[in-house]
Amino acid sequence: MPDGPEKSDRAIMSLEGHLLELRWRLVVCLIALAAAFGLSWLFRHWLMDALKWPHVRAMASLGFETALYAKTYPEGFVAQLKACALGALVLAAPMIIYQVWAFVAPGLFPNERRKVFSLGAACAACFFGGISFGYFFFVPMAFRYLIVLSGPSVRPMLMIGSYISTFFFFIFALGLAFQTPVVIYFLLRWNVLTLEGLRRGRKGIILGAFIVGAFITPPDPMTQVIMATTLIILCDLGALVAFPNWRTLAAFMRFTGVVVLVGAALVAWFGLRPVAHVTVLEGTLQVQGRAVSAGEPAPIRRGALCRAGADCAARFTFGRKARVYLNGGASLQIIGPGAIRLRRGKALLDVSGQRGGFTVRGGPGIVVAKTARAQLEAPDPDSIVITVLEGEVQAKRAGEAQRVHAGQTLALRRGGHVVDTSGIAKEWKGILPRSRGAE
């Protein structure tokens, strides 16, 4: 009897033969995973650096240290095992996919093979597209926003184990969420849905996108809105690919165009808008690798790293009520219109009635001043010394706050207690001059 409109080339095999082949292909997959895991373990340090990049980007943009800590002895080792398992899965994925295809393909008609191949290729492309979106954009943005929500009084001390688990959750959730265009495409092509039905159910799609976004993202509105917006765009993209015509293109561009314009405006406002201006009084100042000479005023944007030369003196102006003076050899990073991070050297802070306070991060502490003049010194990345000349500042470390008044000096060091050195200066006042004269 004829096989139908298309001849079948499916292999005929007994149940025992199928089971033997399945066992063999499972063994090949396990061997591929083991070999990929061994290769990942050899390059585990590079792999860990790659996985930490979103965290490093988020923390560096806020001026925080980028180190991740281990709460228990095996936590760092377990985190490396998780990272190598992910690396092994990615490296062995082509072999695993091929083995699955080689087992299933003989039982399909040629037209079914083409459909399954197209479906698998589309799912893989969308999955890796979701991973790339999360790695380069969503995860760093979400981490940064969550740290900002914590407020200036909270200094993050993040653990490597919880970071790896959170990172994996975000990445795989986004990879699955990016299957939306594939699902919409096949539902439309198989006539399960219609374009008219999608248009009528637009409100339901938006509500569903926000519900899914609430499950995937942390409990904050910003990341939920970004995820829901992304899902809606992906849904429209699936409809556009299924029926590429002017009507679906107009529907896609109507929503996506608004999102792109709003996103571009936000990027321009937060990323390109200057938050301070610097005037070099003498010498040369390096701003993001660009030399600024004396007498040349220059705008400063968020995240800019400024390094003063050995003979440099510069004045940073933040609005009308805050100025920071930098001397030779010092470096600082601009966090925002009212916050900097002192990385090394000395800086003079001059604040007069700053609303909300001007924040300086350095070493293990945070200094907040509303009306004060103070010298800040970071002799190394793990300490900061505050000397108040006028007014008072508030120094915070590990959730503890202490006020420093005019004439007082306070040193904050990592791994130790808050130390007030004003009494030490008085104690040695009568001895130091005689010691120096004797020398």
Q: How confident is the model at residue 12 (pLDDT cuts 50, 70, 90)?
A: low
Q: Is the pLDDT of residue 438 over 50?
A: no
Element (H, E) at 181: helix 180-189
Over the stretch 294-340, which tens digit does the pLDDT of each residue have? 877 789 888 888 999 888 889 999 988 899 998 888 999 888 888 89
Q: Which residues contact 369 (CB under 8 A, 6 or more apart)?
A: 349, 351, 354, 357, 358, 360, 391, 392, 393, 394
Q: Is the pLDDT of residue 341 over 70?
A: yes
Q: How confident is the model at residue 433 (pLDDT cuts 50, 70, 90)?
A: very low
Token pair of 353 as six digits: 């009635």
CB atoms within 10 A of CB 358: 26
Inter-residue contact 361 to 368 (CB < 8 Å): no
Prediction pTM value: 0.70
Q: Is the pLDDT of residue 13 over 80?
A: no
Q: Is the pLDDT of residue 36 over 60?
A: yes
Q: Is the pLDDT of residue 148 over 80?
A: no
Over the stretch 160-176, which tens digit does the pLDDT of each residue have? 998 998 899 888 888 88
Kindly report the average pLDDT of the chain as a whole number.
83
Inter-residue contact 224 to 215 (CB < 8 Å): no
Percent of the chain clearing pLDDT 90 (strictly above): 18
Q: How confident is the model at residue 88 (pLDDT cuts 50, 70, 90)?
A: very high
Q: How confident is the model at residue 419 (pLDDT cuts 50, 70, 90)?
A: low
Q: Which of 82, 92, 106, 228 is nearest to 163 (CA)?
A: 82
Over the stretch 239-261, which tens digit does the pLDDT of each residue have? 888 888 888 888 888 888 888 88
Element (H, E) at 254: helix 246-267
8-state DSSP, 69: B
Q: How confident is the model at residue 31 (pLDDT cuts 50, 70, 90)?
A: very high
Q: Is the pLDDT of residue 41 over 90?
A: yes
Q: How confident is the model at residue 5 (pLDDT cuts 50, 70, 90)?
A: very low
* 3-state DSSP assignment of residue 366: strand
What is the pLDDT, as a whole number, of residue 80? 93
What is the pLDDT, as a whole number, of residue 121? 85
Catalogue all structural domains in the chain, each as residue range(s) with its CATH number. 15-271 (no CATH), 276-438 (2.60.120.1440)
Q: Is the pLDDT of residue 2 over 50?
A: no
8-state DSSP, 3: -
The burial class, CB within 10 Å (0-12 / 13-18 / 19+), for 28 is middle
What is the pLDDT, as a whole number, of residue 158? 86
Distance CA 120, CA 97 (A): 9
What is the pLDDT, as a whole number, of residue 194? 85
Q: How confident is the model at residue 54 (pLDDT cuts 50, 70, 90)?
A: very high
Q: Which of 401, 333, 419 is nearest to 151 (CA)?
A: 401
Token pair of 256 as six digits: 């996506």
Bigger pLDDT: 195 vs 7: 195
Q: Is the pLDDT of residue 428 over 80?
A: no
Mean pLDDT, residues 175-193: 87
Mean pLDDT, residues 45-53: 92
Inter-residue contact 244 to 191 (CB < 8 Å): no
